[in-house]
Amino acid sequence: MPVGALQLEAGGYLPEVVLGYETWGTLNADASNAVLIEHALTGSTHVARGASDEDGWWDDLVGPGATIDTERYFVVAANMVGGCYGSTGPASPAPDGSPWGSRFPFVTIRDSVRAEARLADALGIRRWHAVLGGSMGGARALEWAATFPERTARCAVMACGAASTAEQIAFAQAQVAAIRLDPHFAGGDYYGGPAPEAGLGIARRIAHINYRSEPELEYRFGRSAQAEEQPFGGITPSARGRYAVESYLDYQAEKLVSRFDANSYILLTEALVSHDISRGRGSLEQSLGGLEETEFFIAAVDSDRLYFPEQSRQLAEALPGSVKVHTIETPLGHDGFLTDVHQLHDDLTQAFFPHA
Amino acid sequence: MPVGALQLEAGGYLPEVVLGYETWGTLNADASNAVLIEHALTGSTHVARGASDEDGWWDDLVGPGATIDTERYFVVAANMVGGCYGSTGPASPAPDGSPWGSRFPFVTIRDSVRAEARLADALGIRRWHAVLGGSMGGARALEWAATFPERTARCAVMACGAASTAEQIAFAQAQVAAIRLDPHFAGGDYYGGPAPEAGLGIARRIAHINYRSEPELEYRFGRSAQAEEQPFGGITPSARGRYAVESYLDYQAEKLVSRFDANSYILLTEALVSHDISRGRGSLEQSLGGLEETEFFIAAVDSDRLYFPEQSRQLAEALPGSVKVHTIETPLGHDGFLTDVHQLHDDLTQAFFPHA
């Protein structure tokens, strides 16, 4: 969906922005049943099965008869500006016909939310019944409530705080540096040539370790060797076989590299680094304390060591009224917002999606 | 000190090994006052001031009148085989006169300990009063006790478990991959040309974040901008200024790059990945349960999120008798074994270094 030109917070300008999106269900007559689901860093718009039979990343939450029942709600998922799932991004042609590449401007979560508001306009949705997301999707949902409180009746923020932390910035820096170090990166103008797959793969490894937990990795892999490989054989270290955990991370890296553009990874990582709900709005309390029009649902994963539950608690405390932090209990870590979101079914149903 | 040829565990061979070392104090007549201090991954032999006035990395523990009183004990610190502080390593000339570079063989903690035993022979030390180390130094100390129990009267292992864990292997893999991705790495044969500083810098960033803790980074840096820089200014992400935490990690990376060889970093990282006190010795209990000749002192840092205190507890449980885990209390994380080792003064004095 074309949503026009976008003047960006950090000073850049995109003359023509298209937002890729998917929908499920039917918008009702007074457009009061619309739900926006915001994807995480490398997520797509494919939240759930629907037009495509392909598994969605939140099938447990969205579908016919699910927590967000697509027979009752009209569900929309839009790709972030700068992404690579249908929205204008670095691989899209710039006005001169060549890919934007290194010229693609710095986009923030807030910029994307402003573009998403135009998509809502075009779809005839004045006010969302609810906006939900986890991780970077949670940052987007929160930014919706802060930027357009009158358009956000309900807002669910899972596994994400009010701003990206020093540690999140630090791990992001190492990831972006690894992509830029890849000789194939070519300063960001690699389209038409080989992609910086090795660099993107390293970024994914760093990220993925932090998306899981130490006990899970130890339980699943320990010091096991990968199949027939000999991690301890090899006259030089570069000649040795792999441990199972290394093979697992190679697989995670390969999977991402085959589906994601490295420039989009940098763009969205930088957008997430910029996440700060208070930017230009005063203190955290000043930024959030007045959002009386929106009902909030905050959730954290107990074993999350990237978006610590404490950050969700701080967010909840800054919101108006008394907002509870719901907990997903899993040893998995941050990814629990994907793998174990079903644990929120009862609470989320009661809070946001009561049965008719 | 030349210690001869070394046939290595993983199959490699080093025809002539030199061990760099430093000493403090004087060996007594019956050679009963010798203490070996084992450095961590990027540590040097410069444990404490002495011949050189330069600060040592364990000045709080070693020196005249300190916990390990160099007026009473003869303290030795040897550089790991494969390192870059005086021992034979990848930058050393191979028999053909060119640097070993990519040909330098896979060395384990156990290999280095065997070389260090020859150094002890040459110095006239049959049995160490104590062997101590933290992090990789702890792995080396533990390997001394397991390989040469009759030569290790006392053994202190700080912030290190019985084997490297899946997560430690995983973070190591990303670090080694970043170094190898650097175009200057040239497969490991970069001597005479530019060094792979960017890759080594990324490795250090990943490691350093894990050496500290999320609360410490948040407390020290939060989302502050670096001095006059504008992290939110810049039309493209690559043009923006830095956050203070990014500048801090740039500084940590630059400091390491100026003093450490990338091939040695890979070699010692791989040695640490190979750390498994049980390799070839049966179960953990079979490997450690019989070490009755050695007195152990185990310590963990309460906020360590790379070498979790739980790993120290598992190690202590596998040792003979009832071994307590001493705790360094600091919000700093793993680096607490360096910054706050003074907390162990009383316990370590009582256990290993009672006053005459």
The CA distance from A287 to the nearest CA of chain B, in Å, is 16
Helices A136-147, A109-123: axis angle to 10 degrees equals 70
Catalytic residue among B60, B69, B261, B304: B304
Domain borders along chain A are 2-164+276-352, 168-269
- CB atoms under 10 Å from CB of A71, counted, come to 11
| Residue B274 pLDDT > 80 | yes
Asked, colleague to colleague, whether A2-164+276-352 and A168-269 share their fold, the answer is no
Confidence (pLDDT) at A355? 77
Catalytic residue among B135, B164, B264, B274: B135
Confidence (pLDDT) at A51? 75
What secondary structure does DSSP assign to B173-220, as a single string? Answer: HHHHHHHHHSGGGGGG--TTS---HHHHHHHHHHHHHHHS-HHHHHHH
* The one-letter amino acid at A143: E
Are B90 and B267 in contact, with CB atoms under 8 Å apart? yes
The answer to whether the Cα torsion of A256, A260, A261, A263 is positive or negative is: negative
A184 in B contact zone (CB under 8 Å): no
Residue with tokens 């994914």: A204
B317 in A contact zone (CB under 8 Å): no
CB contact under 8 A, B237 and A106: yes
CATH class of A168-269: mainly alpha
Mean pLDDT computed over every residue of chain A = 97
| Mutation site for A-interface testing, chosen from B110, B185, B229, B246 by largest number of A Cβ within 10 Å | B246
What secondary structure does DSSP assign to B229-292, as a single string? Answer: --TT--SSGGGS--BHHHHHHHHHHHHHHTT--HHHHHHHHHHHHT-BTTTTT-SHHHHHTT-T
Helix (H) or strand (E) holding B55: none
Confidence (pLDDT) at A234? 86
| Residue B356 pLDDT > 80 | no
Are B277 and B143 in contact, with CB atoms under 8 Å apart? yes
CB contact under 8 A, A170 and B217: yes
The CA distance from A278 to the nearest CA of chain B, in Å, is 11
> If pLDDT is split at 50, 70 and 90, which confidence band does A233 have?
confident
CB contact under 8 A, A274 and B171: no
Residue of A nearest to B197 (CA): A181
Helices B136-147, B262-273: axis angle to 10 degrees equals 50
A270 in B contact zone (CB under 8 Å): yes
Q: What is the rounded CA–CA span in Å between residue B42 and residue B56?
A: 13
List residues bridging with A301 in a β-sheet: A328
| Residue B334 pLDDT > 80 | yes
B254 in A contact zone (CB under 8 Å): no
- CB atoms under 10 Å from CB of B15, counted, come to 10
3-state SS string for B225-246: ECCCCCCCCCCCHHHCCCEHHH
Burial environment of residue A51 by CB neighbours within 10 A (0 to 12, 13 to 18, 19 or more): exposed
Q: What is the pLDDT of residues B120-133, one digit of tens each?
A: 999 999 999 999 99
| Mutation site for A-interface testing, chosen from B173, B248, B287 by largest number of A Cβ within 10 Å | B173
B194 in A contact zone (CB under 8 Å): no
Helix, strand, coil fractions of chain A, as percent rounded to 5: 40, 15, 45
Helix (H) or strand (E) holding A219: helix A214-220
B30 is in an annotated binding site: no
List residues bridging with A298 in a β-sheet: A157, A325
Q: Find the CB nearest A266 among B163, B237, B244.
A: B237
| Residue B138 pLDDT > 70 | yes
A-facing residues of B in 224-253 (CB < 8 A) are 231-240, 243-246, 249
Q: What is the pLDDT of residues B167-207, one digit of tens each?
A: 999 999 999 999 999 999 999 999 999 999 999 999 999 99
Confidence (pLDDT) at B234? 86
Residue with tokens 């820089």: B229
Q: What is the pLDDT of residues A236-251, one digit of tens each?
A: 999 999 999 999 999 9
Q: What is the rounded CA–CA span in Å between residue B301 and residue B138?
A: 13
Range B345-351, long-range pairs (CB < 8 A, 24+ positions): B345/B61, B345/B67, B347/B297, B348/B61, B348/B67, B348/B156, B348/B297, B349/B67, B351/B154, B351/B295, B351/B297
User: Of the candidates B170, B252, B255, which has an alpha carbon nearest to the alpha carbon of residue B211?
Assistant: B252
What secondary structure does DSSP assign to B66-105, as a single string? Answer: SSEETTT-EEEEEPPTT-SSSS--TTSBPTTSSB-GGGPP
Q: What is the pLDDT of residues A290-348, one digit of tens each?
A: 999 999 999 999 999 999 999 999 999 999 999 999 999 999 999 999 999 999 999 99
Question: Which CATH number is A2-164+276-352 given?
Answer: 3.40.50.1820
pLDDT, average across residues B338-343: 98
Helix (H) or strand (E) holding A194: none
User: Of the candidates B347, B343, B297, B337, which has an alpha carbon nearest to the alpha carbon of residue B319?
Assistant: B297
> If pLDDT is split at 50, 70 and 90, which confidence band does B50 have?
confident
CB contact under 8 A, B10 and A240: yes
Q: Could you give the residue numbers annotated as active site of A? A: 135, 304, 334
Q: What is the rounded CA–CA span in Å between residue A252 and residue A171?
A: 18
CB contact under 8 A, A10 and B266: no
B261 is in an annotated binding site: no
Q: Is B129 one of the catalytic residues? A: no
Residue of B nearest to A201 (CA): B174
Q: Is B32 one of the catalytic residues? A: no
Are B37 and B137 in contact, with CB atoms under 8 Å apart? yes
Q: Find the CB nearest A167 among B104, B217, B234.
A: B217
* ipTM reported for the complex, 2 dp: 0.96
